[in-house]
C-alpha cells in the first residue's frame, strides 16, 4: 500500500499544501466575485447619475415656470410647467432604474462563502 509507506510528517505536509492551495483558490474566487459586483455598482451609479442630471433639468424648468407664472401671469407658463413635469417624470424613472440595479448588488462573495463552508466540512471529515 502506498499510503503505508508515507510518514505522518509527509501526510501532514501534503495536507498543509492542499489547504494552502484551497485558500489561494478561495482568494482568487473572492476577487472575481468582487470584480463582478463592482461592474454592477458601476451600472447602478451611471443610472443614478443620469437620473440626478435629469432631475436638475426638471428643477431648472420648474423654476422657470414659477418665474414665468409670477412675472407674466399668462398661458405661456403652462408650456414650461409641462416640460418641467415631463422631465420630473423622466428623472423618477431613471432614478428608479438605478435603485433597482443598486438593490441587485451582493457585497458578500456568496460563492466563496459557500466553498469555504464546504472546505471546512471536508477538512473536518478528513482530519479525524
Render each residue's pLDDT in the chain as its tens digit; 128 residues. 455 577 888 888 888 888 888 888 888 988 888 898 888 889 999 999 999 999 999 988 887 877 777 676 566 767 777 777 888 899 999 999 999 988 888 777 777 778 878 877 777 777 65
Do 47 and 98 touch, CB atoms closer than 8 A? yes
68 contact partners, CB below 8 Å, separation of at least 6: 74, 76, 77, 80
Which residue ranges make up each domain of the chain? 2-127
Do 84 and 61 touch, CB atoms closer than 8 A? yes
pTM over 0.85, yes/no: no
Amino acid at each position: 500500500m502506498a499510503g503505508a509507506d508515507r510518514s505522518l510528517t509527509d501526510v501532514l505536509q501534503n495536507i498543509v499544501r492542499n489547504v494552502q492551495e484551497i485558500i489561494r483558490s478561495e482568494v482568487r474566487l473572492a476577487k472575481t466575485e468582487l470584480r463582478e459586483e463592482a461592474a454592477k455598482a458601476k451600472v447602478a451609479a451611471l443610472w443614478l447619475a443620469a437620473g440626478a442630471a435629469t432631475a436638475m433639468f426638471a428643477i431648472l424648468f420648474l423654476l422657470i415656470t414659477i418665474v414665468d407664472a409670477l412675472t407674466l401671469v399668462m398661458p405661456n407658463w403652462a408650456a414650461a410647467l409641462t416640460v418641467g413635469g415631463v422631465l420630473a417624470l423622466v428623472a423618477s424613472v431613471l432614478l428608479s432604474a438605478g435603485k433597482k440595479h443598486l438593490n441587485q448588488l451582493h457585497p458578500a462573495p456568496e460563492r466563496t462563502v459557500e466553498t469555504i463552508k464546504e472546505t471546512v466540512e471536508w477538512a473536518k471529515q478528513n482530519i479525524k
